[in-house]
Structure 1
């Protein structure tokens, strides 16, 4: 009983740290956040922080994984969703756009994290942990089963390579959404709305893998 209570407190402290770090990282660029601020917001001591995380970098990775998990759960259909491969793909892409519109700070964080990750300053251990996270539970290549279904039911081009096409769709749409999360739309004397930029990209992606047999 006592051991169980201590474990619950420990788990609670860890979640409080992650929640505080996430809030601060989304408010500001995470290089501008320090451990003292995280501890203050979480209501814990530095000693408690270091019982759960060896560095602020480790917390940054943990927050990135929580955001990627949130995004994946938001955009993927549940098991009750039916329809052709194309219909399911379109539904995913529309939910993806909806997520980006509702959570622009999360998209900005992912952008900053990608730059940080590619800079080479993160430890090999953290990178390995992150790669394991990405490569499990369908986070890597989650579009592939939908594309394979579309090929099988004839709603998508039979010439598609599901792996290559999934990567192409992910990189294209994610790049546009990340860019939009950091861009102030210009005023050219007429309103340029978010959907004016993003939705043609979604339609282009679906059209390409439906009729383009050269991919």
Structure 2
């Protein structure tokens, strides 16, 4: 009975931790990262502050866990997409098309934008910096992996710096999607260009640049 009891306890702890993350995520997206307090999260979860501190030591720690969860979900979806296509170029094309066509995940995009704004200059603690960097480096970056595959199979040009171009593409895609999703309505009115067209041209320019 003891091993089963320990397993049930661990499941309960994991579920409670996930409940805290999800409640905090909803509060952050609704009110913004700088407006939410630990007291707000405690009240939303229906737990005590003492219980919260058993799982998280600070508000920053919760914010980082939400960011990691959002990025992990994106990586999981991406890993399903990269199998579409015979060459590295075709798989990159498929991945970019998915990003252009997707109308979902506006909340995730909004949270990432707030995270980038809040932590512009430095991370709050060495521990969180190490945790976040370890997550980012825990596996191959999708764009870098596809560029490497394309260079190897000849579908992507051989003269590029894969790391530099891969992260350039990543930053362009993230920044453009943030702008088109979060301010798309006003940008459409200001510039008289459909945000969907902007995203399509972005993908086309990237693909034209890297194609062998």
TM-score normalised per structure 2: 0.88
Aligned residue in 2 for 1:158: 158
Matches within 5 A, 1:11-160: 11-77=14-80, 80-99=83-102, 101-120=103-122, 122-138=124-140, 141-160=141-160
* Higher helix residue share: 2
Deviant stretches of 4+, over 4 Å: none
CA deviation digits over 1:44-69, x for unaligned, max 9?
A: 22111110000111000000000011
The 1:175–1:44 alpha-carbon spacing in structure 2 relative to 1, beyond 3 Å, is same
Change (3 A) 1:28 1:144: same
RMSD of aligned C-alpha atoms?
2.0
- Output the TM-score relative to the length of structure 1: 0.87
Secondary structure of residue in 1 paired with 2:72: helix
Distance in 1 between the 2:152 and 2:139 partners? 23
Q: Structure 1: 5+ residue runs without aligned partners?
A: none
Change (3 A) 1:162 1:77: farther
SS in 1 for 2:66: helix
**1:86-108 superposed Cα distances (whole Å, 9 cap, x missing partner):** 11001111222344x31122112
Task: Give the C-alpha shift of residue 80 in structure 1.
Answer: 5.0
